[in-house]
Amino acid sequence: MISTTSTYRQDILSSTGHFGPYGGTYVPEVLLPGLQDIAAAYDHLKTDPDFLDEFHTALREFDGRPTPLTPLPRLSAEIGGAQIFLKNEGLNHTGAHKINHCIGQAILAKRLGKTRIIAETGAGQHGYATAAVCARFGLDCTVYMGRIDYERQRPNVYWMELLGAKVVPVEDGSQTLNDAVIAAFKDWVEHPESYYLLGSAVGPHPYPAMNTFFQKIVGEETRQQCLDQIGRTPDYVMACVGGGSNAMGMFFEFLDDEQVQLIGVEAGGRGTQPGEHAAKVRQGVKGIFEGYHSYFLQDGDGNIASTHSVSAGLDYCGISPILAHLADEGRVQFATASDETALAAVQRLALAEGIIPALESAHAFAHAFELAANLTPDQVIVVNASGRGEKDLFITMRHFQPESLRKVGELLLKG
């Protein structure tokens, strides 16, 4: 239940990496000095006016913030329930919210005197944003990507390489985000002088808190836009949850608004069997993996299970320790959306409102459409469109126009 004395925001900002029983720093000793340097820098810089000025200037001038809060009148009327609004993080430079924490961490890395950046990526959005930021700040960049994601998110691989990054496909394990994270950690063991620019609100301290800090601009803007555009805070705020960076960015500013219901939407995939989904809160169990204590999808004997989602960005075994804590506290509710309903949501949003969301974000919309139908027109739902859908070209095309995809393939082969 919601604690009446809670100041969730303060607790997260002042935390040393523990969120209820979750979080922590569970890594090989060789990585501790590097993590301690980053944690100390973050602790100092989060209140440093010069640093914050540089961060916000880059968000404005390079990234293009603020992003709009867009009403969806046609879709809301079609559904006939609550008014739905969309926070368009897809309009960020490189197409998703990821660039917010990339800018913050890159400036921090520069202050630490780092010259080489390591990153992992799932959908490729974090890798793409990291590559852009590294080019912008003159940093050498290596991105690890599971082989399956490397193939299914080919456009982003190309953009990363065009931006000068080295993209390494990871052949281990299930060849998705999880394996990319492990490969990035191994690179860091071999190059402890490099900076690991981890791309979600997961991992050892300080990443969960630090990425939340850099992402909270999303919810700050949204809350103010709600006050300006509708004169009050919304009734529901929703975001999709893979690791949890866009959800934490969106939810943070609303955590202490008890009247605002926060809903995280996980990947329901193809079913509830192990390996068919990525719903950590629904089916995960407590564990300690990849540096942090949280909910993980596992086999019951301590092995990590494989996951599935049509969206690479949600196809991950763990969840932010901050979200695990907020789930236990009942402050954030969780739901799931299947591959099919997410794909349908992409089409529905495109046809009714002229916006093509990323498949990840489409999970949040799928649930929002369902919920909206059961609410009344005086109620307001805000959904975080964490990314735009262009990167999903080959996946959505295969689904909606398989014949066109085949023709594109033939044309390309002919040269």
Partner 1 sequence: MQIPIMAHLVLGYPTLPESIRTAELYIAAGCAILELQIPFSHPTADGPVITRACQVAVEEQGITVANCLEAIAGLTSRFPQQEIIVMSYLNRIYTYGADRFREKMERMGIRHLIVPDLPVDSPVAKALHQPGQLQLLPVLAANVSDARLQQLLAAGHDFFYLMSDFKITGSTFSLNPRLKHIAQTIKATQANARVGIGFGISTAEQIHQVLEVADCAIIGSALIRAQEENRLNRYFNELLLETTKST
Q: Is 267 helix (H, G, I), strand (E, B) or coil?
A: strand
CB neighbour list of residue 371: distance below 8 Å, 6 or more residues apart: 81, 82, 236, 263, 381
Tell me the window of 102-110, 133-141, 227-235, 300-308 that interacts with partner 1 (CB under 8 A).
Answer: 300-308
Amino acid letter for position 359: L
Q: How many helices (H) and strands (E) does the chain have?
A: 18, 14
E strand spans, 131-190: 140-146, 166-170
Tell me the window of 50-58, 289-297, 347-355, 406-414 that interacts with partner 1 (CB under 8 A).
Answer: 289-297
Question: In this complex, which beta carbon is closest to partner 1, that of residue 317 or of residue 355?
Answer: 317
Among 5, 47, 259, 303, binds partner 1 (CB under 8 A): 303
Question: In this complex, which beta carbon is closest to partner 1, that of residue 301 or of residue 378?
Answer: 301
Task: Identify the active-site residue in 98, 114, 216, 391.
Answer: 98
DSSP-assigned letters across all residues of 86-130? EEEGGGSGGGBTHHHHHHHHHHHHHHTT--EEEEEESSSHHHHHH
CB neighbour list of residue 83: distance below 8 Å, 6 or more residues apart: 71, 72, 73, 76, 230, 377, 379, 380, 381
Give yes or no for residue 291 binding partner 1 (CB under 8 A). yes
Question: In this complex, which beta carbon is closest to partner 1, that of residue 104 or of residue 204?
Answer: 204
Give yes or no for residue 4 binding partner 1 (CB under 8 A). no
Tell me the window of 143-151, 239-247, 301-309, 364-372 that interacts with partner 1 (CB under 8 A).
Answer: 301-309
Tell me the window of 49-57, 296-304, 328-336, 348-356 that interacts with partner 1 (CB under 8 A).
Answer: 296-304
Question: Which has the closest alpha carbon to 171: 156, 189, 193, 186?
Answer: 186
How far is Cα 334 from Cα 391, in angstroms, rounded to an integer? 26
Among 28, 68, 73, 271, binds partner 1 (CB under 8 A): 28
Among 287, 313, 321, 389, binds partner 1 (CB under 8 A): 287
Is 61 known to be catalytic? no
- Smallest separation (angstroms) from partner 1 to the CB of 102: 23
Sequence-distant contacts of 11-20: CB under 8 A, at least 24 apart:
12/209, 12/212, 12/252, 12/255, 12/322, 13/46, 13/209, 13/213, 15/209, 16/205, 17/204, 17/205, 17/206, 17/208, 17/209, 19/208, 19/321, 19/322, 19/324, 19/325, 20/324, 20/325, 20/328, 20/329
Question: In this complex, which beta carbon is closest to partner 1, that of residue 180 or of residue 255?
Answer: 180
Binding map of partner 1 across residues 30-69, x = CB under 8 A, - = no contact: x-xx------------------------------------
Is 46 known to be catalytic? no
Task: Identify the active-site residue in 46, 76, 114, 120.
Answer: 120
How far is Cα 273 from Cα 225, in angstroms, rounded to an integer? 41
Which structure tokens are listed for 151?
């193939």
Among 144, 213, 296, 365, binds partner 1 (CB under 8 A): 296
How far is Cα 341 from Cα 162, in angstroms, rounded to an integer? 34
C-beta separation of 262 from 333 below 8 A: yes
Among 254, 289, 365, 369, binds partner 1 (CB under 8 A): 289
Name which of residues 178 to 217 contact partner 1 (CB under 8 A). 178-179, 182, 185-186, 189-192
Tell me the window of 20-28, 66-74, 133-141, 308-316 that interacts with partner 1 (CB under 8 A).
Answer: 20-28
Give yes or no for residue 80 binding partner 1 (CB under 8 A). no
- Smallest separation (angstroms) from partner 1 to the CB of 193: 9
Is 120 known to be catalytic? yes
- Binding residues for partner 1, rule: CB under 8 A, are 24-30, 32-33, 172-173, 178-179, 182, 185-186, 189-192, 285-291, 296, 298-304
Instruction: Tell me which residues are annotated as active site.
Output: 98, 120, 386
